[in-house]
Amino acid sequence: MHFAPRVTATTVSSPALRARALAAVCLAFLTFAGLGLPGDRALAEGLPSLGSAKTSQLEQQRQFYLAARNALQLKQYTVYQQYRDRLHGYPLSPYLDYYYLNRRLSRLPSEQVSQFLDSNSDSHLGDKLRQRWLLTLAKKNRWQEYLSFYSADLRSTTLSCFALQARHASGDELALQEVEPLWNVEHSQPNDCDPLFDTWIAAGGLTPDIAWQRFNKAMSAGNRTLGNYLLRYLTGEELKLAELQIEIGRYPHRIARSERFQQQSPAIQNIILYGIKHYARQDPLAALQAWYRYDAQQLFNSEQRHETQQQLALYLLRKGHHDEVTQLIADIPEISSKTLTEIIIVDALKQQDWPKVHQHIVKLDLDAQREERWLYWRARALEQAELSDPVYNSAGEIYTLLAIRRDYYSFLAADKLGRDYHLGDTPANINPEKLLTIQTNPAARRARELLAIGDTTNASREWYYMSRRLNSEDEHIAAASLAHQWGWHNQTIISLASARSWDDLQMRFPLAYDKQVLAAAQKHSISPLLLFAIARQESAFAEQARSPAGALGLMQLMPGTARQTASRAGVKYQQPHELLLPEKNITLGSYYVNELLEKYEGNRILAAAAYNAGPHRVDQWLQRSAKQLPIDIWIESIPFRETRKYVQNVLAYSVIYGYRTGSIPDMLTRSEAGQRL
């Protein structure tokens, strides 16, 4: 495959130089993006045409639907019915029926609900109304009706509890025998299950053995609140042991009082191991000394010993106690924890102890050794030290193996060899029959209409419901193709991932919102490739994306950051929901990226890390590394796995977006590659 020459900036440390470095990238971008690549602007310019007459009819139906929905919200039921009567065959008609029924559930006869469920038996709305209806029936103790509507496929703990309660109330004597698996779990169950549990307990279902089992499950899972609650069900020696474990969970340092734990019993050993692990989080050195005393005193089995030693080693490494870790793991015949081995390797990388890096990489299981990450560092170790490897003759052999792949480590390997990056862009094979099946799927038709009226939340729910029922890679690829035709980028990406289809780069890396991205890039002298890469990594171009932490929109801005950035940029910004508008989000996001680039003298690695984890954390990491680490080691040693992967993806995605726009840059600029952090 022939690629265009790489376009590389030798340095990006000043605005003037950054502007010159950007010129070639923007020229290539304009050449390609200006042609209007198919599917990349579909969402911005409207869904594909359906033919003028049909489109006109569809537009009228959309207006009727919106009018009916509005009338329903205003409780104008006569007006609602007038519009609803005009919508026979319209894909979103079931939504109106759902909204209408949901408002009146407490007063509805079962027949009316049954009619809706029969008509929408295989739909997201059918499942949703069934759940709400079951909750209504349970609240009214209409247990016979409850059982007639209940389906275990709903997979709801609350509904499962109600189902057993309904069976018991209907005279099924076997129902209470099925309660124990619901009760005996490591976490708290919904309050709605309490009446069933109370009935089960009153009938003698809860035995001391079951209560003790659940207590141990809860404590092993770190759920001390539940463990404390379960004390009421314990008696005698088990109660004393449970109270002791609760105490140690609250005050881990008390495990150091070894005179309290002299008894040789599995229960006491369990408390000791529990206490050592919790104490290690607070003070790993003190926990290590306590462990040595207990290890000499108690007869732990090999599995218990090795697991505890590996837990201690993890906490010791995180505090920088290297000598203690070396001594501790010397007693372990084989480290079974992949997490511990990987942390040891990264710690050795920070010390640039290449023999130690190699020693522990070859101890990983074979599948892990074949991962791009560890192949790259294996090669680096061979490159830096004269080592004998049991599999490979040289670092170059490993780099050659890596360079035919497409990811961050493979691009680093290609740079080591001085070769072009392997992009492996292969259009997905679309099965026409599968595509037609997806196009005519009722859930897909509803999703398309929901997109057309701006209801992306319900559109995503419909797509998810449909996708869960697809049975083959061909079907998922067809779904991705359809979403791509609509310009629905994040669902395209999700569907391709479901098919494990990674090589269609046009669909996986769309030039979405290209006008806004290019305008922002030119304004701030930022490479548009970087902005594309950040948006792709942050939200996969889901303009309505909301993270659990509260970040919003394409570039996942926190409202507080957006407010401060808008103030500095002189951009009008009042409410967080404005961040769901692509143009506003890209405007503020690009300004913030520019600020970070200026702060870190044009270094995209540091800017990307700060964009994800915050500048204060990046400053702390830089202070610790004291400009002693090569750039690849600094990235590998980022403490947060999410941020490490984020930076790696942004760098690799920038290369891929270079390819998409006709100019492939070096993944690391010369300035970045030669820098020590």
Contacts of residue 2, defined as CB under 8 A and 6 or more positions apart, other chains included, come to none
390: left (phi over 0), alpha (psi -120 to 50) or beta: alpha
By C-alpha distance, which of 496, 531, 651, 406 is closest to 643? Answer: 651
The pair of structure tokens assigned to 206 is 């809860």
CA–CA separation, 569 and 593 (whole Å): 12
Q: Which of 324, 462, 538, 595 is catalytic?
A: 538
Sign (positive or negative) of CA dihedral 560, 562, 566, 568: positive
Please, are residues 61 and 505 in contact by the beta-carbon 8 Å criterion?
A: no
Cα separation, 654 vs 146, in Å, equals: 55
Q: Which residue has the tokens 């045409």?
A: 49
- Tokens coding 405: 């792949």
What stretches of 104-259 show up as alpha helix (H) in DSSP? 110-119, 124-139, 143-149, 157-169, 180-183, 194-202, 208-220, 224-230, 236-250
* Active-site annotation holds for 538: yes
- 451-488: b or e for each residue (b if 16 or more CB lie within 10 Å)? bbeebbebbbbbbebbbeebeebbbbbbbbbbbbbbbb
Tell me the helix, strand and coil percentages in the chain, rounded to 5: 70, 0, 30
Q: For helices 408-417 and 372-384, what crossing angle results, to 10°?
A: 30
CA distance 277 to 298: 16
Count of C-beta atoms within a 10 Å radius of residue 346 = 19
Neighbour-count burial for 604-639, b at 16+ CB within 10 Å, e otherwise: bbbbbbbbbbebebbeebbeeeeeebbbbbbbbbbe
Q: Where in the sequence numbering do the catalytic residues fall?
A: 538
